[in-house]
Each structure stands twice: as C-alpha cells, then as structure tokens.
Amino acid sequence: MTAKAKQDQIAELIRQAVVIPVLTIERLSDAVPLAKALVAGGVRTLEVTLRTPVAIDAARAIMAEVPDAMVGIGTILNGDDLARAEALGVRFGISPGATPELLQAAASSRLPFAPGIATASELMQALAHGFEVVKFFPAEQAGGIKALRALAGPFPNVRVCPTGGIGETNAAAWLAEPNVLAVGGSWLCPASEIRAGNWAGITAMCAQSMKSLKAACR
C-alpha cells in the first residue's frame, strides 16, 4: 500500500467515526462488553490505548468477539509499540506525539497511522515523512481551536483529529472546523461507568452524542 493510500484510508476511517473514544482498559473482562456497548450506541471506531498491561489482549478480544468494531491502537510511543499493533492486525495506529524514529518506522509500516502533533515544527516533521493526517494533542491545552486555525493557514491540506480536553460541551465546535475529520476523547466511556459495568448507560450516552454531533458535521 502506498503512503498516500494509507493516509486516505485512515482519513476516511476517522471521518466516518465522528468520535473516536480513547479507551484505557484496566480489566480484560471489561473489553468486550465495553466495545459492545459503544457499538450499540453507534460508536464503532475504537482506540485502545497502550496504557495498561492488558491493552493488547483487550484489543485482540474485541476484534475476535465484536466484529462491527473497527479497532485501532493508541498511545504508540516507539517502533516496538508500532510493530505490536501491526502484528495484531488492527485497522489503524495513533500516537500522542512523534519522534523521528517513530515517524520513520510508521512510514515504512503497512499500518495506517496518524502521528500526534502540537506545534508547527512537529507538523512539518510529520509532513516530511508523508503524514497529512495527524492527531492534534493535547488539543485544548495546546491552544484550542484558535491554534488549530493558525496551523491551517500554512498547512491547508492537513487533516486533523483533535484529542485532549474535548468533551460533550465543546466537541461540536471542534467538528465544525473544516480541517477536522473527527474528535477523540474519553467522555463517552467514563472510568467510573466502566468500573460499575454500566453498559446500558454508556450505550445511551453514545447514542445521544452521536445524534447531535453528526448534525454538527453537516
């Protein structure tokens, strides 16, 4: 797959998602019911972060038991993380930032990938390695929508998935920006609701949010 084809593929996947929940799964037993609850609420594209020891097994279980979920791996920090994600067979990879080594490994990988950026210099490094689809992180803390609009001036072709400080109250404003494909966040699956096993509540929250946010994308 060419670099452009990989970028087009992840761009379309992110665009269709509208919202990508950032999943930090602490207990393997929560993985499948959580994924089923999200998919039932209309949220199919899931980012399983490499922040816990069970992350890889959780992603594997979701892929095996929730076929409607489109699973990606997040918090990819280095080439080893990238290799694990690619070997797992997930649909995409995302990083919170990017070193030159990670960008080079991702450019050589078959895995559709979106590196994290927060500044113009970081974005230029991503572009130099062929990445026009990026994660803007931490979005609110890095300057919010004003910063995103400033970056859009010299980089009009870049497509963005902002994550960090985005929730129910401001997601629609981010989605209204022309260079934003989707937003990422954890508000659709609060840790307290996961620990309580409130799957029906998570489904209801997702369904309500997706209904309102899809209207913001039109």
**Whose CA is closest to 111, among 134, 132, 88?**
88
The neighbouring-strand residues paired with 49 are 74
Question: Using CA atoms in the order 43, 46, 49, 52, what is the torsion angle rounded to 10 degrees?
Answer: 80
DSSP summary character for residue 163: B
> Distances from the Cα of 74 to the Cαs of 40, 67, 69, 178, 184, in angstroms?
22, 19, 15, 24, 11
Residues assigned a catalytic role: 47, 135
The neighbouring-strand residues paired with 22 are 47
Q: How large is the C-alpha radius of gyration of the chain?
A: 16
Q: Which residue pairs from 66-72 have beta carbons closer than 8 angstroms and sit at least 24 positions apart in sequence?
A: 66/32, 66/35, 66/36, 66/39, 68/39, 68/44, 69/35, 69/38, 69/39, 69/44, 69/45, 70/13, 70/17, 70/44, 70/45, 70/46, 71/35, 71/46, 72/20, 72/45, 72/46, 72/47, 72/48
